[in-house]
Amino acid sequence: MSVANIEVSETPLVLYALRRADDALILGHRLSEWCGHAPMLEEDMALSNIALDLIGQARELYSYAAKAEGKDNDEDKLAYLRDVRQYRNLLLVEQPNGDFAQTLVRQFFYSAFADLYWRAMMNSRDTTLAAIAAKSEKESAYHLRHASEWLIRLGDGTDESHARAQAAIDQLWAFTGEMFAVDDGERALIHAGIAIDPGTLRGRWLQTLSDVASEATLVLPQNDWMQQGGRVGRHSEHLGHLLSELQSMQRTFPGLTW
Amino acid sequence: MVSVLDRDSELRRRAWDAAASVVDPEIPVLTIADLGVLREVALDGDHVEVAITPTYSGCPAMNMIALEIEVALERAGFRRSKVRTVLSPAWTTDWMSEEGRHKLRAYGIAPPQASSSRRALFGEQAVACPQCGSENTEVLSEFGSTSCKALWRCKSCREPFDYFKCH
């Protein structure tokens, strides 16, 4: 038997933290799926380490969201007892691992954004968000460096690795627009100095992408049609499968602790 | 005659020493004081409140360290203690003590370079081999056996080694 979903009072601030927490948790979970399966031992450790950083960031953001909500939800309930439609992550991070190139391109798109985003959020007027940002900023810099180096190696590698890296870029491109979208609630938080306007990061994000892509002999798509929906709970079919695995223990044995 | 103030500062010192003796479970030659993870020890009557800061957001050693602090305080006679985690200011390898850096090197781990900066995160680094001291080294993997370490190899003595990353 399954356990009922919790309800979350999504004030703009709670929703804001929840969206970023969900990004970090879902991407961290995706990377953890590589544990024991990566192409080499060093990469197995790298992807697991990055997963650990992201899940750590998610915990801090969930705890913050729970506190901001002020009900009896906590980090575990927020992670384990919300269903697909209640998840607020970017569509990008829930995309399946695919081959190694797809995993790295997904990571590259996200980390290039996260690195700029967290650095800007260090100036948030909210001291907890600023503190989370100060930690996450350093971690994201490592993640970005790791993904960039791999992308150059794959793109400028063999015909096979080049073709796969280019295919991954083309396939995931349409999920990048969502990172820069804001709604009315977020606009108010930006105005209050709590959040930052992601639109102001887009130029630098594109610059990072094109610098790395040109060194990797890869081409960024010109296509600017973007898929959205994750931020309001409209997800691809992949998220449900991911959550059924991530949540199975708490859904089966409610409240179980190690 | 011992004044109340003296007794309090003596107690506080004992509490600090007890908490500071806890070692990192992954790098047992370093205490949490060497690492800069121990931020504050406050005394309120017989209640001790210890503040620690995580090295990396997801560092799994933090729960273990918090538990070890409570045990160490209990052994030192402090029955009531609480460990809280502070995130700000964010931990940096610059807080690692000189003694900690020496201990790391002696243990076979190359210590983090003096000043962490975004340049250190992105730029080229020359890391000396903790075995033979040569700077003719190369990075094997940005990510090592724990969140805080990278895997390097010495091209002079051919030994692989852990490098405590600049952060």
Nearest CB neighbour to B57, from listed A56, A127, A141: A56
Question: Per DSSP, what are the bridge partners of residue B138?
Answer: B153
Dihedral sign computed on CA atoms, order A61, B146, A250, A98: positive
Helix locations, chain A, DSSP H: 12-32, 41-69, 75-80, 91-94, 100-121, 127-155, 159-172, 184-191, 202-215, 238-252
Residue A53 pLDDT exceeds 90:
yes
Please enumerate in sequence order all residues whose Cβ is within 8 A of that of A6, keeping only pairs 6 or more positions apart, or say none: A73, A77, A78, A81, A82
pLDDT band at A1 (very low <50, low <70, confident <90, very high): very low
| Interchain CB distance below 8 Å, A45 and B60 | no
Count H helices, E strands: chain B?
5, 7
Per-residue pLDDT of chain B (167 residues; tens, 9 = 90+): 556 667 788 899 999 999 999 999 989 999 999 999 999 999 988 899 999 999 888 888 898 999 999 999 999 999 999 999 998 888 989 999 999 999 999 999 999 876 655 555 555 678 899 999 999 999 888 888 888 899 999 999 999 999 998 77
| Interchain CB distance below 8 Å, B141 and A59 | no
| Interchain CB distance below 8 Å, B143 and A42 | yes
Q: What is the ipTM of this complex?
A: 0.80
* Chain A residues contacting B via beta carbons under 8 Å: 28, 42-43, 45-46, 48-57, 59-60, 127-128, 130-132, 134-136, 138-139, 141-142, 145-146, 149
Nearest CB neighbour to B58, from listed A53, A138, A142: A53
CA distance A123 to A129: 9
CA distance A152 to B73: 51
B142 inside 8 A of chain A by CB:
yes
CA distance A235 to A244: 14
Please, what's the b/e burial string for B78-88 (b: 16 or more CB within 10 A of its CB; e: otherwise)? beebebeeebe
Q: Hey, how many other C-beta atoms are within 10 angstroms of the C-beta on B102?
A: 13
User: What pLDDT does B125 receive?
Assistant: 72
How far, in whole angstroms, is CA A98 from its chain's centroid? 16
B58 inside 8 A of chain A by CB:
yes
Tokens 């045990």 locate to B71
pLDDT band at A141 (very low <50, low <70, confident <90, very high): very high
Calculate how close chain A gets to B132, using CA atoms only, in Å.
Answer: 24
How far, in Å, are A136, B65, B72 from residue B142 at the CA level? 17, 25, 34
Calculate how close chain A gets to B69, using CA atoms only, in Å.
Answer: 20
Q: pTM of this prediction?
A: 0.91
Nearest CB neighbour to A56, from listed B59, B141, B144: B59
Please count the residue pairs, one from chain A and one from chain B, whose beta carbons lie less than 8 angstroms apart: 81
Nearest CB neighbour to B167, from listed A49, A55, A138: A138
Question: Which residue of chain B is at minimal alpha-carbon distance from A143?
Answer: B142
Q: Which of B87, B93, B117 to mutate to test the interface with A (most CBs of A within 10 A)?
A: B87
CA distance B38 to B53: 7
Question: Per DSSP, what are the bridge partners of residue B44?
Answer: B47
Q: Hey, how many other C-beta atoms are within 10 angstroms of the C-beta on B27?
A: 21
| Interchain CB distance below 8 Å, A134 and B60 | no
Judge contact between A18 and A185, C-beta under 8 A: no
| Interchain CB distance below 8 Å, B57 and A128 | no
Nearest CB neighbour to A134, from listed B90, B141, B143: B90
Picking from B164, B141, B159, B138, the residue whose alpha carbon sits closest to that of residue A39 is B141
For the residues A233-238, what does the mean pLDDT come to? 98
What's the token pair of residue A140?
A: 């994201």
Sheet with strand B109-110: strands edge to edge: B109-110, B160-164, B149-154, B137-141
